[in-house]
Structure 1
């Protein structure tokens, strides 16, 4: 690890008035959650069709069987790793204002982060496709699929963004507002190639933020907007940042 770069990043965080973190699948790998893309990605082993909203609406049972297997049978046991914990401690100590995440795993909240904007929703909540009633996932018995709404008997859907669905308006609005306010912007474990997520770090840069990027390899951000690139696994680098911040 490049000690000079690490110290440079920590210096920026210490001096910053408004630091925001932007996280993706890479931050949760150390918690045992595989990324969607890449060599060991989920889409190399499973077709993403079951997460297309059109497929879900036509064949909810088939879709739910796969969703249960991939998300609900594994995510419930996942625990935050040191990277999530350091971000939560940074927030507590006023080194961090908020987290914008593309993850649906709820691990930032589980680690103790209070201000989390979930661009792609969360697996922890279910929403009725008929009347839009919302339920905590603990409401549903996933031994009986697809789960249905207590009020109208409509089919419940995980409250996460499926392919061809829009980003939740509130999360999108707040994410861009946070990016505009930031004077330091941390990119952690994501190359964010999908819009509108890809525009959020760019917005921060346009509004004068210094960009610190933590990724296992270079991304399009590294060449275009990053000021300090820390190459490596999110958990290991965030652990070092935590030490230097005396968290």
Structure 2
């Protein structure tokens, strides 16, 4: 565990189908605070904004896979509005509790983000999007499921953007400390460090993209202790 030279994949508490609603809600609140601290939304937006420069006129259509409580989707919606870009966002998650929380947060933010409750691994993704994005979901999956997800995301839109954890000893220590600073949720406090152990390295993520048939995919390091996958389809 100390060196994390190999991926040590174990299911996280957040992924258990029998998780209590109250525990799940508190965990989503903790993740909301972690998302703010990490600045992941702005990293995703930089990739999307660059893509908008080559996008024909009209509204930008975005699919957020495994949207959780809707934090990233709302942030992207706000950033698009600040730059005068019309955007329609669909958030997809398999958890009814997460979709419910996302719905309320979207309404409170004044956004018209649409929520779809569906499993991205068990069911095909809706298609026809300009951008298909995902944040902090890839490490929740087994290797075969990660390949399936990437292939489906690549088929569903012109630009694929994935932000996820990058496995490293320093990232593990930081996750352990950060989760104790920002939340009292025992789920987040367990899942945070385990997420890093579950995460892929840059080279492993590149191999996933190759297996998923994502020609031209770029995998690089991102701050803090993350990796970013981008791929623009011709």
TM-score normalised according to structure 2 size:
0.41
TM-score normalised according to structure 1 size:
0.39
Question: Who wins on radius of gyration, i.e. which is larger?
Answer: 1
> Going by fraction, where is helix more abundant, 1 or 2?
2
